[in-house]
Structure 1
Amino acid sequence: MTGIGRPVEPYHPDEADGPHQDTPTDLLWSKTPPATTRWAALPRSRRRLLQALIVAAAATGAFFALRPTPVTQATPNPYPWPAGVTTLHYKGRGPTPATFRFEIDVARGSPVTVHQVGAGLPELGATTTPGLPLTVRAGSPRTITVHISVYKCAALPPALVLPHLDVLLSNSTAQQQQSFLFGGAYPRDLRTDLRAVCFPNTASPAPTSLDREAWRTLTRR
């Protein structure tokens, strides 16, 4: 067999007419014109149209390749837990002895309901005005007044360190018990008022060095 076309018939010397050549030679080879030849054969208007399409496709590809990828910003969780979005701010003494005002603020999310407020020590009790439960909406802080009562003065520790309120909170996501610690004015006001109730004729003992170190350790967290 040859490298192109169809098989050549075998030659037999005893045949007078020699090898068969019944296949037209113009079918044994074909050649496609080169791209440049085909391009030159196109009408001028067709070449201009194709050139415009090629330029437009290149420009579109470059635009998408160079366009900066938008940065997806993390969105806040639309269903936060109540303790993560609720804060208590001490606003000063209330109108009567051993009463203290606090502002409850909800940063975002669904409304938070305050179910219980505890004084943080088994020797102390707490009641609130207005009464509980109290619902606070995001962006609309509410103020409550907490009255601290003493069950037994002799059972109080010699120094009130790390005073806090234990608050039961809930929203549409969960219910949580959260302890809110206060420094600064609230511990001083609480000690002064409890001293006036339990030890009216004695000075309040100063916090020990161990108590002060515990306070510094906790506030550094």
Structure 2
Amino acid sequence: MTVLSISQPYAGLSLTSGPATPLRVKGDGSRKIVVTVRVAECGKVPRNAGLPFLDVTLRNTRAKEAHSYILGARYARDLSTALEVACGNEFR
């Protein structure tokens, strides 16, 4: 399987992954991917990330599929805290 892309929906954030996409994952295996989110423009990020998700596009020999993954409460809390630190004065 190939991970073609990883993205997120907020216009004020940019996202990179390591290793970079596209990347291959063996069908019976797993792969650690580090996702780094950067604030590009505080005016376009949410005050509270709520239920943030990542969009992942996958491809195998038969199909290409887009999926959205909600990473859970801990990710939402950490993202909201990081946004507050990065854009705190602009949120007040």
TM-score range, shorter chain: 0.7 to 0.9
Which of residues 143, 148, 167 is equivalent to 2:56?
167
Q: Which runs of 5+ in 2 are unaligned?
A: none
Q: Please give the alpha-carbon distance, in whole angstroms, between the structure 2 residues aligned to 1:139 and 1:120.
A: 29
Amino acid at match of 1:186: Y
Structure number with greater CO (CA < 8 Å, separation at least 6) is: 2
Structure with greater proportional helix content: 1
Cα offset, 1:123, TM superposition: 2.1
Partner secondary structure for residue 17 of structure 2:
strand
- Map 1:109-148 to 2 at 5 A: 112-148=1-37
1:195 aligns with 2:68: no
CA RMSD of aligned residues (A): 2.0
**Matching residue of 2:47:** 158
Q: Please give the alpha-carbon distance, in whole angstroms, between the structure 1 residues aligned to 2:65 and 2:76.
A: 24
The structure with the largest alpha-carbon Rg is 1
Which of residues 66, 74, 77 is equivalent to 1:185?
74
Partner secondary structure for residue 48 of structure 2:
coil
Q: Which runs of 5+ in 1 are unaligned?
A: 1-111, 204-221
Partner secondary structure for residue 143 of structure 1:
coil
Q: Please give the alpha-carbon distance, in whole angstroms, between the structure 2 residues aligned to 1:180 and 1:153.
A: 24
Specify whether residues 172 and 188 from structure 1 end up closer, same or farther in structure 2 by C-alpha distance, changes over 3 A only.
same
Q: Please give the alpha-carbon distance, in whole angstroms, between the structure 2 residues aligned to 1:117 and 1:196.
A: 24
Partner secondary structure for residue 189 of structure 1:
helix
Cα offset, 1:143, TM superposition: 0.4
Cα offset, 1:122, TM superposition: 2.1
- Map 1:56-67 to 2 at 5 A: none
Cα offset, 1:125, TM superposition: 1.4
Q: Please give the alpha-carbon distance, in whole angstroms, between the structure 2 residues aligned to 1:201 and 1:153.
A: 7
Structure with greater proportional strand content: 2
**Matching residue of 1:36:** none
Q: Please give the alpha-carbon distance, in whole angstroms, between the structure 2 residues aligned to 1:131 and 1:154.
A: 27
- Map 1:1-221 to 2 at 5 A: 112-199=1-88
Alignment identity in percent? 34
Q: TM (normalized to structure 1)? A: 0.38
